[in-house]
A and B are shown apart, each in its own frame.
Chain A
Amino acid sequence: MLFSNRMINILIPIISVVLGLLSGAIIMLVFGYNPIEGYAALWNGAFGDSYFLGETLRQVTPYILSGLAVAFALRTGLLNIGVEGQVFVGWLASVAVGISFDLPMIIHLPLAILAAALAGAFWGFIPGILKAKLGVHEVIVTIMMNYIALYISNDIVRNVLTDGEDRTAEIAPSASLASEWLASMTYFSRLHYGLIVALFMALVMWFVLNKTTRGFELRSVGFNQNASKYAGMSVGKNIVLAMVISGAFAGLAGAMEGLGTFGYMNVKSGFTNIGFDGIAVALLGANMALGVVLAAFLFGTLKIGALNMPTEAGVPTELVEIVIALIIFFVASSYIIRWAFLRFKKEGK
């Protein structure tokens, strides 16, 4: 036996990324840019100095949480395309709590974070209950919920939290995740304490799914609803719970932006893509907590590092986006690579 299954699960994402980078290099070559310079610029833009490193880590933070949200749902057999909308309501809720109260930090900050989680959870609860009770497919509902979230959030920012303005007030310092210490260590990047929250939640996901009876039920229902019902588990309850927990992770991703990076919420013309990128992060991370953390790290690196490619290597932004899209493409199509692998192993089945 050449490779064990475990090895394959680790190798496939790595190969996907390498293939993505290679084809990105080819595209750059074809259009007359030097791929080595391009990737060097990407590297410098992500890790070149401590400011860039701070920004990269800041970007990684919401990706970890949105990736966990998608991964958690997938592990329980659900496709949560609504992470994007759940991020929106989480962001909104955290900022609403952040600007509306004047409390000691020890209460205010946890309260704002909790509000985000609850808002996301509620946004996940709706498709969950519709699936459990009426059998409506969660993909359809979650997609629609994304638009509802976008437009409701905009309306609330404009007409409830402000008087017709495009952005809310700054949250109270007592609700902020921003850290002078982290910022000063990284030449005043926007790095904040949220990274700790995100890493902690990865641990939570691992623990819940793998170590608790609840996680056992959730995974069981994800694999085989009939057998789960036979075994006395409540399929409907577990579906709803899975969507609620997934939504809570997504809501927390919104809090990272609301309480950490920005400190306010503004009217948005379109999606943030944090939620959609979460799908790719989860795929690349093989739906495992540690995998998601690593994949989020890669995505954050690409997103931030790419900003440096036009200035340092002259690669136009459009091309940079193509390169990133290619990497995502190879990751998303990793099943092709898996298939090729299995053929190579000549195992089939």
Chain B
Amino acid sequence: MDYVIEMLNIRKEFPGIVANDNINLQVKKGEIHALLGENGAGKSTLMNVLFGLYQPEKGEIRVRGEQANITDPNIANDLGIGMVHQHFMLVDTFTVTENIVLGSEPKRMGQVNLKRAEKEVQELSERYGLNVDPRAKIRDISVGMQQRVEILKTLYRGAEILILDEPTAVLTPQEIKELIDIMKSLVSEGKSIILITHKLKEIMEVCDRCTVIRKGQGIGTVEVSETNPTELASLMVGREVSFSTEKTPADPKETFLSIKDLRVKDVRGVEMVKGLNLNVRAGEIVGIAGVDGNGQSELIEAITGLRKTESGDIKLHEKAITNLTPRKVTQSGISHIPQDRHKFGLVLDFPVGENMVLQSYYNEPFSKNGVMNFKNIYKKANELIEEYDVRTPDAYTKARALSGGNQQKAIIGREVDRSPDLIIAAQPTRGLDVGAIEFIHKKLIEERDKGRAVLLLSFELEEIMNLSDRIAVMFDGQIVAEVKPEETNEQDLGLLMAGNSTSKAGGE
């Protein structure tokens, strides 16, 4: 048989949960094999088992037909298995090459031979079209580049089988295109790839076969050429999923958020928001479309009080909120679903329950006279977990142990539940499965219909087009155009986002 990897009847338990229950996965040599499943279905767990980070309770792993006992990642490396985790493990202040050789440095007389390593990295990079500068420092390169460094790291160690855990969740559409080309060139050299992704389009585009798991159980493997996104989605969720979100036309009322002439600098002191104007009204969803790095993050950080503004006004209900502290901003009625959930959204070492009251712990009924009331906190947490379908053994589990998608659902539950006037949702569905995306979109529209204002930031045009009532295109620190989704298309939007304001869809 020409399977490079066979995982047979794998079972992996965590306290209170069976993450993998008799799962089978067979990967052929030279194929790109998709692993599809809802958030918390057990995909990352299964891959961690293959990479030797977890030991399965039951089951058998065969590599190139031979039974393997992968008890730690070094053994996986020796067997030619490499893994790119969703959260990168790179040393910021090291160069690309230093990061790649870390742990397996080429030595000459006890000294690390960086010259040779640099050359090897350069060669690998050229061979697979990765385009990485071996001497650049990690902190100076984009997330997309960092991911390529992770891929190079596995190749440098001689990986023949690459596991990519949600590699596209953190990439911009352009970077995704490039990654897809890289994957194609890797398999054409005889490597095999296991790809985890929630984006069915990507599976349809690059994968040969797809294994679906649902709630820890293997549903089966399908040939991608014989299936379609709708079938994949229903296999994975176990019911029909609608892709475009149903919504009635917006009925915008008074202006909630108004931003005038806003200027904001980033950490390095470079002006990123350059005299920006924007209004968001009650009962509408305004989507900000733009290529990453055009000041979107700085804009949101300025509104939410996380970053000082240079000049300009931000008003909520005609009251200035410019440069208020994050707490004052929250109290004035703004919720914020942050772009980076691990950095801002959660205290990973706190239980899920305590994360649910991260901004409201000092209010009754969660505390009184400075003393916490954990009974009320966990009561609230359990309600939110129930309502937002956060899959966790219980509210006492640390947020760290939740799957990425379920962490996101917990944040969204917390932020929407606060009944704010304005919800700022930055990449709210990043890393979510199609079912969860449908759910989150429904929630945001529900909030809109209750008369709340929603400011959406997303790098996915599909999401912007689907959800927004009005699209504001951001380019070089300014809103360069405002368009209605029904009067534009992805192509025109793309042109506007590239700063091409002469496009016919343009206009103020």
Q: Which residues of chain A have a CB within 8 Å of any CB of chain B? A: 1, 4, 211-216, 219-220, 223-224, 226-234, 343, 346-349
Contact = CB atoms under 8 A, between A and B. Distances in A.
Nearest to B53: A348
B345 A348 contact: no
B359 interface: yes
B372 A223 contact: no
B367 interface: yes
A349 B327 contact: no
Interface string B56-89: 0000000000000001100000000000000000
B167 interface: no
The 9 closest A-B pairs by CB, nearest first: A232-B327, A346-B55, A348-B53, A231-B358, A230-B344, A223-B349, A232-B326, A224-B347, A231-B359
Contacts of B347: 220, 223-224, 227-228
B48 A213 contact: no
A281 B60 CA distance: 45
Contacts of A349: 48, 53-54
Given A230-B338, A232-B330, A343-B72, 6 more contacts: A216-B372, A230-B345, A231-B359, A232-B325, A347-B55, A349-B53
B441 to A, nearest CB: 24
A234 B326 CA distance: 9
Nearest to B14: A1
Query: Size range of the interface on B?
Result: 35 or more
Contacts of B54: 346-349
Nearest to A1: B15
Nearest to B51: A348
A185 to B, nearest CB: 37
14 contacts: A1-B15, A211-B372, A212-B372, A223-B348, A227-B343, A227-B345, A227-B358, A229-B326, A230-B306, A230-B345, A232-B326, A232-B328, A347-B55, A349-B54
A18 B72 CA distance: 29
B359 A232 contact: yes
Interface string B326-348: 11101000001010000111111
Nearest to B304: A230
Contacts of A216: 354, 361, 372
A347 B328 CA distance: 43
B128 interface: no
A349 B371 CA distance: 34
Contact of B371 (A212, A220, A227): A212
Contacts of A231: 326, 358-359
B361 A229 contact: no
Q: Most B CB atoms within 10 A — which of A214, A226, A227, A343?
A: A227
A213 B53 contact: no
B94 interface: no
Contacts, number: 76
A348 B85 CA distance: 14
B358 A220 contact: yes
Contacts of A220: 347, 350, 358
A234 B338 CA distance: 18
A346 B73 CA distance: 12
Contacts of A343: 72
Contact of B344 (A223, A227, A347, A348): A227
A226 B343 contact: yes
Contacts of A233: 327
Nearest to B330: A232
B439 interface: no
Nearest to B362: A213
Nearest to A4: B15
A233 B330 CA distance: 11
A152 B427 CA distance: 56
B359 A224 contact: no
A196 to B, nearest CB: 24
A1 B361 CA distance: 34
Contacts of B249: none
B348 A224 contact: yes
Contacts of B52: 348
A231 B348 CA distance: 14
Interface string B265-299: 00000000000000000000000000000000000
A233 to B, nearest CB: 8
B370 interface: yes
Contact of A214 (B328, B345, B370): B370
A230 B326 contact: yes
A145 to B, nearest CB: 29
A317 to B, nearest CB: 41
B344 A226 contact: yes
Nearest to B57: A1
A213 B344 contact: no
Interface string B341-381: 00111111110001000110110000100111000000000
Contact of B372 (A213, A230, A347): A213
B409 to A, nearest CB: 17
Contacts of B327: 232-233
Contacts of B372: 211-213, 215-216
B306 A213 contact: no
A188 to B, nearest CB: 43
Q: Most A CB atoms within 10 A — which of B330, B350, B358?
A: B358
Contacts of B71: 346
A227 B330 CA distance: 14
A145 B464 CA distance: 56
Contacts of B304: 230
Contacts of A214: 370
B15 to A, nearest CB: 6
Contacts of B350: 219-220, 223
Contact of B361 (A4, A213, A226): A213
Nearest to A207: B371
A347 B72 CA distance: 10
Contacts of B330: 232
Contacts of A224: 343, 346-349
A233 B343 CA distance: 15
B371 A211 contact: yes
Contacts of A212: 367, 370-372
Contacts of B306: 229-230
A1 B72 CA distance: 19
